């Protein structure tokens, strides 16, 4: 897939013609609402395996053909170029993906092996519903780029029928589903949640349910609760026994431990809890993971960070979820929620002390709207990407992109005359994050949270990776 940033006065039809795809396919993959209105600066996912190459100074068609593993004749046949020598810097040239015409007796598996692509990707790119029914003469698009296999986790904190529908809709993109969360009590008991419908939906879609336990809520930090549990052997044993019983009863296959704001003096006690948890749960056939605050170094100070011992977590548990988001938290000044420049600093430290095959990249899929001028203590509004786009359209905002945090934003003035600044995610920022996951060789991605629709993200996720089931 390609990403196109809308220019002033561009129409959907013009963009579709440029990339040789249908307007309907662009509408579908981007979740656009008809009648379609395009904002300047809007990033669109273009559903194609073809590549649009911009000619660089000194390039020849022969050189371009070599780069993409094709021929000058193929390029000429797909572009209105009459003289191969008459190309110029800045010219856009379509490089078509390879095609294969099915011969009698060929299977999809054979074709995938022939071109060294995965069967799953071959099926997905060609929208094949029955892999056993392909006919001689059918022309198949061969996926262009390799797709590494990763794990994908999705946290979800809503438990309504709408949440079940969300799981059913996004399940194909998930390895794990984590209903959030069982709240720990002082004696090690757990406050129950109505998670069974979500678990059943996940299992029916071949998604592994992962139980999540935590010590905090939206109104309490939980540091004293964590202290009471971590320093009480009886409470720890009760906590793990309760978790194991719930997992067996409901069908969970693993446990995600999310202790936040742990007191610095309880660091070793937290590590000891993890070791005890792994010993007991592994014996029962369950895996154990943790959620970690985004630390930049071992010496980082602050309640959120000090008790999160990266080397110990990397050594003890099966994998970790880095909560690489919330720089732009609700009470902060307007800024990127998940700035990639800061995330890379976290990954540099994490990858130095935790095996990369144990690291999940935390990815937030929500937007925030701050009032301007920002006043200390003022709380930003949180909503999904669909609402972010609706507001931009409503107030005719021009979308901008900050290349340092790799995040889009816009400003607008509401009907009362109040200024606003909105930071969100788009196709560009999602692709930048996916490129980072590949560059660091991480195990996977963990989304917070599935309550917020983001069609572009899922399309690009599948275009970049094969999701392990």
Contact in structure between 394 and 355 (CB atoms under 8 Å): no
Question: Which region, left, alpha or beta, applies to residue 139 given φ > 0 means left and ψ of -120 to 50 means alpha?
Answer: beta
Residue 400 φ/ψ, nearest 5 degrees: -115, 165
Contact in structure between 114 and 102 (CB atoms under 8 Å): no
Beta bridge partners of 454: none
Catalytic residue among 49, 223, 260, 421: 260
Q: How far apart are CA 436 and CA 425, in angstroms?
A: 15
Angle in degrees, CA 172, 324, 219, rounded to 5: 100
Contact in structure between 209 and 252 (CB atoms under 8 Å): yes
Task: Cis check for the bond before 436: say yes or no (omega within 30 of 0).
Answer: no
The H or E element that residue 331 is part of is none
Task: Cis check for the bond before 441: say yes or no (omega within 30 of 0).
Answer: no
Using DSSP, state whether 14 is helix, strand or coil. helix
Cβ density class 135-145: b for 16+ within 10 Å, e for less:
eeeeebbbbbe
Contact in structure between 94 and 49 (CB atoms under 8 Å): no
Using DSSP, state whether 427 is helix, strand or coil. helix
Alpha-carbon separation of residue 442 from 212, 433, 446 (angstroms): 22, 12, 11
Q: How far apart are CA 154 and CA 145, in angstroms?
A: 25
Contact in structure between 228 and 197 (CB atoms under 8 Å): no
C-alpha closest to that of 157 among 80, 72, 214: 214
Largest Cα–Cα separation, the chain: 81
Please compute Rg for the chain using Cα positions: 25
Structure tokens belonging to residue 266? 């309880």
Q: How far apart are CA 9 and CA 317, in angstroms?
A: 53
Say whether 462 is catalytic.
no
Which residues does the annotation mark as catalytic?
260
């Amino acid at each position: 897939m390609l990403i196109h940033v809308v220019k002033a006065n561009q129409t959907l039809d013009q963009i579709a013609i440029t990339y040789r795809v249908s307007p309907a396919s662009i509408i579908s993959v981007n979740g656009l609402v008809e009648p379609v209105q395009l904002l300047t600066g809007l990033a669109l996912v273009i559903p194609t395996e073809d590549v649009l190459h911009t000619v660089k100074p000194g390039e020849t068609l022969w050189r371009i053909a070599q780069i993409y593993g094709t021929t000058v004749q193929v390029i000429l046949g797909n572009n209105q170029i009459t003289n191969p020598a008459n190309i110029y810097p800045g010219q856009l040239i379509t490089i078509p993906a390879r095609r294969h015409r099915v011969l009698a007796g060929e299977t999809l598996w054979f074709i995938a092996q022939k071109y060294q692509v995965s069967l799953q990707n071959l099926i997905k790119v060609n929208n094949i519903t029955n892999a056993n029914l392909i006919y001689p003469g059918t022309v198949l698009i061969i996926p262009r780029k390799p797709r590494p296999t990763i794990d994908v986790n999705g946290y979800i904190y809503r438990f309504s029928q709408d949440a079940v529908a969300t799981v059913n809709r996004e399940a194909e993109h998930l390895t794990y589903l984590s209903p959030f969360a069982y709240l720990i009590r002082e004696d090690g008991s757990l406050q129950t949640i109505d998670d069974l419908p979500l678990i059943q939906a996940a299992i029916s879609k071949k998604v592994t349910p992962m139980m999540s336990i935590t010590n905090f809520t939206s109104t309490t930090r939980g540091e004293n609760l964590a202290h009471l549990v971590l320093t009480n052997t009886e409470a720890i044993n009760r906590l793990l026994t309760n978790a194991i019983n719930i997992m067996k009863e409901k069908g969970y296959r693993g446990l995600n431990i999310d202790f936040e704001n742990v007191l610095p003096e309880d660091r070793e006690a937290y590590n000891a809890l993890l070791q005890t948890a792994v010993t007991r749960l592994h014996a029962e056939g369950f895996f154990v993971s943790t959620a970690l605050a985004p630390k930049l170094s071992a010496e980082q100070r602050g309640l959120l960070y000090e008790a999160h011992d990266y080397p110990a977590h990397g050594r003890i548990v099966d994998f970790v979820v880095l909560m690489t988001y919330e720089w732009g938290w609700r009470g902060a000044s307007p800024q990127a929620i998940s700035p990639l420049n800061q995330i890379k600093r976290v990954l540099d430290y994490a990858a130095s002390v935790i095996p990369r095959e144990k690291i999940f990249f935390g990815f937030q899929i929500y937007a925030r709207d701050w009032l301007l001028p920002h006043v200390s203590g003022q709380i930003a509004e949180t909503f999904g990407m669909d609402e972010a786009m609706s507001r931009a359209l409503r107030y005719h905002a021009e979308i901008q992109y900050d290349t340092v945090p790799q995040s889009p934003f816009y400003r607008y003035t509401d009907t009362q005359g109040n200024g606003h600044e909105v930071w969100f995610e788009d196709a560009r920022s999602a692709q930048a994050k996916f490129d980072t996951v590949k560059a660091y060789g991480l195990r996977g991605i963990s989304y917070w949270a599935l309550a917020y629709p983001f069609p572009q993200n899922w399309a690009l996720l599948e275009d970049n990776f094969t999701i392990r089931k």
